[in-house]
């Protein structure tokens, strides 16, 4: 059984490498520096007295629905549908002269069509906003967290503009999806390779 499993993994790795779009991770325009630790990625950008960091994790970042529908009616020679990774991401804005960090929790809505009106133009939404003490690893649950569900739309628009002014806009979000998808695929291939070595190990 293990032999067949290892053989299957070998073929699978070959296939995945064939369809791998990016041999190295795509860059994000606008002077962001990328740090990757396993499945977590962090983008950092410094502008005039501020440091902006965007953090996301590729685990569980591929929407589930894409898989189930296509399995049945797929013809043998058809390409599998492309999986896209749309992770939640956290934007932190740190100003040099305050001890506070503004934290905005953003995500990609699963149904783009759900919103009426002019909201369609944004491909991501802000879910929560809070202040956290700068430099502390653990977030305090005692800090007030603003949920945007019931937020005055004008305030919400200002928050989106605030992010856009710091380079977190639709273009950024598109590039983040591309980066995340490439990273997810890279980790998936690595996982298959590790699994293969594990299965072969006597």
Taking the C-alpha atoms of residue 111 and residue 101, their distance in angstroms, rounded to an integer, is: 30
Q: Which residue has the tokens 């991501």?
A: 124
How far is residue 127's CA from residue 85's CA, in Å, rounded to a whole number? 18
Count the neighbouring beta carbons within 10 Å of the beta carbon of residue 180: 24
User: 29-62: per-residue pLDDT in tens?
Assistant: 999 999 999 999 999 999 988 999 999 999 999 8
Q: Which residues pair with 54 in a beta bridge?
A: 43, 91
Residue 149 belongs to some domain of the structure: yes
Answer whether residue 135 shows pLDDT above 50. Answer: yes
Q: Say whether pLDDT at 142 is over 80.
A: no
Residue burial 145-170, b: 16+ Cβ < 10 Å; e: rest: bbebeeeeeeebeebbebbeebbbbe
> What's the pTM value of the predicted model, to 2 decimals?
0.84
Q: Is residue 15 included in any domain, yes or no?
A: no
pLDDT value at position 136?
Answer: 67
- Tell me, what's the pLDDT at 154? 94
* Res 128 pLDDT > 50: yes
Given a cut of 80, whether residue 65 has pLDDT beyond it is no
Q: What is the mean pLDDT of residues 12-40?
A: 92
- Mean per-residue pLDDT for 168-191? 95
Q: Is 161 inside a domain boundary?
A: yes
pLDDT at 181: 95
Residue 162 maps to a domain = yes
Task: State how many domains the chain has.
Answer: 1
What pLDDT, on a 0 to 100 scale, did the predictor assign at position 110?
A: 75
pLDDT score recorded for residue 114: 40
User: Is residue 75, in this structure, part of any structural domain at all?
Assistant: no
**At residue 14, does pLDDT exceed 70?**
yes
Q: Is the pLDDT of residue 77 over 90?
A: no
Summarised one tens digit per residue, pLDDT across range 83-93 is: 899 999 999 99
pLDDT of residue 141: 72
Could you tell me the CATH number of the domain that includes residue 131? Answer: 3.10.280.10
Domain that holds residue 93: 28-58+82-108+120-187
């Amino acid at each position: 059984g293990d032999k067949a499993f290892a053989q299957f993994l070998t073929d699978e790795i070959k296939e995945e490498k064939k369809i791998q779009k990016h041999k190295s991770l795509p860059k994000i325009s606008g002077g962001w520096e990328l740090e990757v630790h396993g499945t977590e990625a962090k983008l950092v950008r410094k502008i005039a007295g501020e440091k902006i960091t965007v953090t996301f994790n590729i685990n569980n970042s591929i929407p589930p629905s894409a898989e189930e529908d296509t399995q049945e009616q797929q013809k043998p020679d058809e390409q599998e549908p492309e999986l896209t990774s749309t992770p939640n991401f956290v934007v932190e804005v740190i100003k040099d002269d305050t001890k506070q960090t503004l934290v905005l929790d953003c995500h990609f809505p699963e149904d783009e069509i759900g919103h009426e009106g002019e909201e369609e133009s944004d491909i991501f939404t802000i879910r929560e906003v809070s202040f956290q003490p700068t430099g502390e690893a653990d977030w305090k649950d005692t800090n007030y967290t603003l949920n945007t569900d019931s937020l005055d739309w004008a305030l919400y628009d200002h928050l989106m503009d605030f992010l856009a002014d710091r380079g977190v806009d639709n273009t950024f979000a598109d590039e983040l999806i591309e980066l995340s998808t490439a990273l997810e695929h890279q980790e998936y291939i690595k996982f298959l390779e590790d699994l293969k070595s594990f299965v072969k190990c006597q």
